[in-house]
């Protein structure tokens, strides 16, 4: 007997039974049977093929009653009327019937953070319905959203109520909110690394930028959250909103004392820059445009002084750490409207459902957006260097698992990763229902890249590894690279020396048992044809250490021929360096020089200065000259850069610093993660720009210095990825294999033709000379 259900065929063993004199078939479909549109049978389900004379209405009623009940006492999240067709009933007493059943998918029970009482979790929760200024209409769901978040922390995550500060309406004046932030910074109960949540539901605002503020916005606007006592009337006494730059500085203060395990959630308009009108047909809009900007020196006392150190680092005197200090979840991008309906914010409600149904321990910040229900007219955003951490957890998912979303488009399997991510012919991807970096998930099958024609800039068409196999995908599915593709090989020149015997043996063994996801490494001897194009060689120092000789012409032209670091002559110390080098050179060599020929992009690099209330270029001099930037080594000189899009296309920016001195790759700027939603362009067309290291980008300035006394020159590479589609390149950064900690941090301080895809890179050498 076969069952046709949602287009999926199941084969089951029928049993002929008699009940009150009427025979019927019982067909068991086991728990976990996947349906093509993502619904799932949550328990062993019994379907009945009734006799010809049975009463259809009674049967239909019985089936609906049986299958519509809540599973395990949990709230039903999805409900679908569909048909079960039972055929091949050979007994003449039975007819082939199609019955209407109600099949539900019950949510999984959220798993609390594993503490009986989660005493190490702290939260500041703000919700404002009533505003003093008539410019902002009354809201009906902001306080309810705040209370729902408080109850979720208290009841599900078991956070003590004494650890949660709830500010609503009259208790959420500007001074109250500012004090709530500072109290988190000064709370002696909070230890370094403890999870901290800051939640705001209420009105947001957008206003012209004060004089001298760099925003990157074509319209020169800044964003802010609106406190209860906001007042635009000079006679009554002006009370300003809290600008994104002020919120960023407040969070930086918390991060300096308590660590970077900070989550910020904003359910308000213009929150897409986060740490950044009225009524609609659908509900109330949480925000408004303001005509008058705040004064340029607003909250200037929030700027502090912190100090940084080598390579590319952050600079003394700059207090803004920006999006490396926290992760931001925003209700919409900065040009959209956050709405509430039926007494709740649409974003907060969808967010809460995902947290409860999936569980915070099974979600990263980035993957959370894929688990949320669609919100009409809103595209939630996720920003922050640590977006791939597990929710409220300072730890990232298990390393080495690079996961991408995958879906069916017609008869093709489409991976949301392409050449910009480094996908090549021959690469294999194992498909899972859940993100395998977080949840132990049973593989659904393996897909492979058969041809270079299948690899597009931002996506790849995959085929089953086993010819003719069919892999049925749920609405949200993930693919983890399980085998590297072709041309992903690092050639290392290694001398023939008996002192390296253990390395040869370990390398041969590693070839047999190597992780297939890693970039391949190949040894070659000096003079071999295979050694052509090699960028790295090994040598033995007089004291028996292993040195790493540089063959990369981009560095040897500056007479840089050997890395400063050495390691012991032990395969356990050598192989991690080579694996890091393989990753480093693979992405450094992704340079695509011809990708921006018809896309005018302007790059400027400045020395910065700091005053009491702002950071800005010291002069108009552009230090980017002759396709390179030359600097004097100093840990005290601050730098930033500006990327301007003069094309007629909206674009997105990702930027990374490749430190040749230690093989580390640091994230300088990452575009917003939006998952299934649309992201607002980071480089808007017709003059949109991003100031990095100053202005409202949330990125600290950089300093470049040389630590070693015997080194006179150092060269790193700043690589800009410019794309016409928002892409997640969070797999690129890596720590140095030599020492703990990154070298580059951020410093205190109608038959319409599809537009051509844009993917190009700009590689900027940063040359640092000793003064």
pLDDT in tens, 395-418: 655 444 568 889 888 778 999 888
Examine the pLDDT at 112 and tell me if it is beyond 60.
Answer: no
Query: Where on the phi/psi map is residue 670: left (φ > 0), alpha (ψ -120 to 50), or beta?
Result: beta
Quote the domain boundaries for residue 191.
122-383
Six token digits for residue 602: 């302007």
Q: Are 273 and 347 within one domain? A: yes
The radius of gyration of the chain's CA atoms, rounded to the nearest angstrom, is 29
pLDDT band for position 613 (50/70/90)? low
**pLDDT bracket for residue 17 (50, 70, 90):** very low
SS3 442: coil
Q: Print burial letters for 643-675: b (CB count within 10 Å at least 16), e (below 16).
A: bbbebebbbbbbbbbbbbbbbbbbbbbbbbbbb
Residues 551 and 609 in one domain: no
pLDDT of 15 above 80: no
**Residue at 214 is within a domain:** yes
Sheet (strand 262-267) strand order: 164-168, 122-127, 196-201, 262-267, 327-330, 381-383
Domain boundary among 70, 105, 140: 105
- The answer on 527 and 421 residing in a single domain is no
Q: Residue 119 has which token pair?
A: 């005493």
Q: Based on the domain organization, do 567 and 604 belong to the same domain?
A: no
| Of 139, 112, 110, 113, the residue nearest 127 (C-alpha) | 139
> How many Å apart are CA 239 and CA 231, to the nearest integer?
5
Task: Give per-residue pLDDT as tens, 265-310.
Answer: 999 875 444 432 334 434 556 555 666 777 777 877 764 433 222 2
Element (H, E) at 501: helix 501-513
In total, how many domains does the chain have? 5
Whether 659 has a pLDDT exceeding 90, the answer reads: yes
Three-class HEC string of 718-755: EEEEEECCCCCCCCCCECCCCCCCCCCCCCCCCCCCCC
Decide if pLDDT at 511 tops 60: yes
Looking at residue 403, its pLDDT comes to 80
* pLDDT at position 314: 32
Q: Which of 355-364, 510-519, 698-707 has the lowest average pLDDT? A: 510-519
Residue 234 and residue 299 share a domain: yes
**Residues composing the chain:** 771
Give the residue-averaged pLDDT of 487-513. Answer: 82
pLDDT(705) > 60: yes
Please give the residue that has the higher pLDDT: either 87 or 204. Answer: 204
Q: What is the pLDDT of residue 376?
A: 84
| Domain presence at residue 398 | no
Is residue 7, in this structure, part of any structural domain at all? yes
CATH number of the structural domain spanning residue 155? 3.40.50.1460
Last residue of a domain, one of 105, 139, 166: 105
More confident site: 128 or 700: 128
Report whether pLDDT(344) > 60.
yes
Which is higher by pLDDT, 261 or 96?
Answer: 261
Tell whether 88 and 208 lie within a shared domain. no
pLDDT reported for residue 514: 54
The whole-number pLDDT of residue 427 equals 87
When mean pLDDT is compared across 197-206, 660-669, 752-761, the lowest value belongs to: 752-761
Rounded average pLDDT over 112-125: 76
Task: Look at residues 279, 283, 181 and name the one whose alpha carbon lies nearest to residue 225.
Answer: 181
* Domain-located, residue 397: no
pLDDT (mean) for 644-672: 91
111 in any annotated domain: no
- Is the CB of residue 558 less than 8 Å from the CB of residue 493? no
Residue that wins the pLDDT comparison between 92 and 7: 92
- In this predicted structure, the answer to whether residue 76 has a pLDDT above a threshold of 50 is no
Query: Angle between the 346-358 and 142-151 helix axes, to the nearest 10 degrees?
Result: 10
If pLDDT is split at 50, 70 and 90, which confidence band does 149 have?
Answer: very high
Q: Tell me the pLDDT band of 504, cut-offs 50, 70 and 90.
A: confident
Average pLDDT of the segment spanning 661-678: 84
pLDDT (0 to 100) of residue 550: 95
Average pLDDT, the chain: 76
- List, for residues 533-586, the tens digit of each pLDDT value: 899 999 999 999 999 999 999 999 999 999 989 999 999 999 999 999 999 998
pLDDT of 224 over the 70 cut = yes
Instruction: Name, in order, each residue with C-beta under 8 angstroms of 132's C-beta and a sequence gap of 6 or more.
Output: 228, 229, 230, 231, 239
110: in domain: no
pLDDT the model gives residue 269: 74
- Please give the pLDDT value at position 414: 92
The whole-number pLDDT of residue 616 equals 85
To the nearest whole percent, how much of the chain has pLDDT over 90?
31
CB 186 within 8 A of CB 142: no
d(CA 585, CA 563) in angstroms, rounded, equals 15
Residues 266 and 359 in one domain: yes
The torsion defined by the Cα of 294, 291, 684 and 604, in degrees rounded to 10, comes to -40
157 and 297 inside one domain: yes
Domain boundary among 330, 355, 383: 383
Of 78-92, 667-681, 712-726, 754-768, the least confident: 78-92
Predicted pLDDT of residue 678: 77
Query: In which band, very low, low, confident or very high, does the pLDDT at 3 lie, cut at 50, 70 and 90?
Result: very low
How far apart CA 674 and CA 382 sit, in angstroms, is 6
Interhelix angle for 174-186 vs 244-258, to 10°? 20
Q: Are residues 537 and 625 in the same domain?
A: no
Does 483 fall in a domain? no
Pair 167, 177: CB distance under 8 Å: yes
Q: Are residues 581 and 598 in the same domain?
A: no
Q: Supply the pLDDT for residue 264.
A: 94
Cβ neighbour number for residue 567 with a 10 Å cutoff: 17
Q: Please check the confidence at residue 696 and state whether its pLDDT lies above 50.
A: yes
- Our CA angle for 361, 362, 368, nearest 5°, is 110
pLDDT band for position 244 (cuts 50, 70, 90): confident
Same domain, 157 and 231: yes
DSSP 8-state symbol, 153: I
512 shares its domain with 471: no
In a domain? residue 394: no
Do the beta carbons of residue 539 and residue 547 sit within 8 Å? yes
CA dist., res. 676 & res. 674, Å (int): 6
């Amino acid at each position: 007997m076969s069952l046709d259900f949602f287009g999926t065929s199941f084969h089951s063993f029928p049993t002929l039974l008699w009940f009150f004199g009427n025979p019927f078939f019982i067909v068991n479909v086991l728990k976990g049977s996947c349906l093509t549109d993502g619904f799932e049978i949550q328990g062993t389900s019994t379907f009945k093929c009734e006799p010809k004379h049975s009463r259809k209405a009674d049967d239909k009623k019985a089936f609906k009653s049986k299958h519509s009940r809540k599973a395990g006492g949990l709230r039903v999240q999805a409900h679908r009327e569909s048909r079960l067709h039972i055929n091949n009933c050979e007994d003449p007493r039975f007819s082939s019937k199609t019955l209407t059943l109600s099949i539900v998918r019950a949510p999984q029970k959220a798993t609390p953070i594993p503490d009986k009482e989660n005493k190490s979790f702290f939260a500041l929760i703000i919700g404002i319905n009533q505003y003093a200024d008539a410019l902002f209409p009354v809201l009906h769901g902001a306080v309810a959203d705040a209370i729902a978040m408080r109850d979720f922390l208290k009841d599900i995550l078991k956070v003590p109520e004494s650890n949660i500060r709830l500010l609503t309406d009259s208790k959420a004046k500007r001074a109250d909110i500012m004090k709530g932030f500072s109290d988190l910074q000064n709370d002696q109960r909070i230890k370094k690394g403890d999870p901290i949540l800051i939640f705001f539901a209420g009105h947001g605002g957008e206003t012209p930028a004060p004089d001298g503020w760099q925003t990157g916005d074509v319209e020169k606007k800044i964003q802010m959250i609106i406190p209860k006592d906001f007042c635009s009337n000079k006679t009554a006494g002006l009370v300003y909103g809290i600008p994104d730059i002020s919120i960023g500085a407040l969070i930086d203060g918390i991060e300096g004392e308590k660590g970077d395990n900070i989550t910020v959630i904003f359910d308000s308009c213009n929150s897409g820059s986060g740490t950044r009108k009225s009524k609609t047909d659908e509900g109330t809009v949480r925000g408004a445009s303001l005509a008058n900007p705040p004064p340029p020196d607003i909250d200037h006392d929030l700027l502090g002084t912190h100090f940084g150190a080598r390579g590319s680092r952050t600079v003394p005197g700059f207090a803004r750490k920006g999006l490396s200090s926290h992760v931001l979840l925003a209700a919409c991008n900065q040009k959209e409207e956050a709405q509430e309906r039926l007494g709740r914010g649409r974003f907060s409600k969808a967010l809460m459902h995902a947290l409860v149904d999936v569980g915070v321990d099974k979600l990263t910040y980035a993957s959370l957006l894929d688990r949320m229900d669609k919100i009409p007219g809103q595209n939630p955003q996720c920003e922050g260097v640590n977006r791939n951490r597990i929710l409220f957890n300072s730890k990232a998912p298990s390393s080495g698992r690079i996961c991408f979303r995958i879906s069916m488009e017609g008869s093709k399997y489409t991976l949301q990763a392409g050449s910009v991510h480094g996908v090549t012919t021959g690469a294999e991807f194992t498909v899972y229902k859940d993100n395998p970096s977080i949840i132990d998930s049973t593989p659904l099958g393996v897909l492979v890249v058969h041809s270079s024609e299948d690899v597009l800039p931002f996506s790849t068409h995959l085929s089953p590894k086993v010819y003719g196999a069919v892999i049925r995908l749920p609405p949200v599915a993930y693919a983890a690279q399980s085998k590297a593709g072709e041309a992903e090989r690092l050639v290392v020149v290694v001398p023939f020396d008996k002192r390296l015997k253990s390395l040869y043996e370990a390398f041969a063994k590693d070839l047999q048992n190597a992780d297939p996801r890693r970039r391949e490494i190949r040894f070659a001897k000096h003079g071999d044809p295979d050694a052509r194009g090699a960028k790295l060689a090994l040598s033995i120092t007089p004291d028996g250490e292993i040195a790493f000789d540089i063959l990369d012409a981009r560095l040897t032209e500056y007479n840089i021929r050997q890395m400063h670091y050495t390691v012991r002559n032990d395969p356990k110390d050598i192989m991690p360096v080579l694996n890091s080098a393989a990753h480093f050179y693979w992405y450094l060599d992704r340079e695509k020089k011809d990708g921006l020929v018809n896309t005018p992009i302007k790059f400027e690099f400045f020395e910065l200065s700091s005053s009491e209330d702002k950071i800005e270029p010291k002069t108009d001099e552009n230090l980017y000259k002759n396709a390179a930037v030359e600097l004097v080594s100093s840990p005290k000189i601050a730098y930033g850069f500006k990327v301007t899009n003069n094309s007629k296309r909206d674009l997105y920016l990702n930027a990374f610093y490749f430190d040749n001195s230690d093989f580390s790759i640091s994230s300088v700027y990452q575009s917003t993660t939006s998952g299934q939603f649309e992201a607002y362009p980071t480089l808007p067309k017709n003059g949109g720009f991003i100031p990095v290291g100053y202005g409202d980008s949330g990125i600290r300035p950089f300093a470049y210095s040389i630590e070693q006394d015997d080194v006179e020159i150092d060269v790193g590479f700043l690589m800009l990825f410019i794309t016409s589609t928002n892409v997640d390149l969070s797999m690129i950064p890596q720590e140095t294999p030599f020492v703990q900690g990154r070298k580059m941090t951020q410093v205190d301080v109608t038959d319409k033709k599809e537009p051509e895809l844009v993917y190009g890179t700009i590689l900027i050498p940063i040359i640092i000379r000793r003064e």
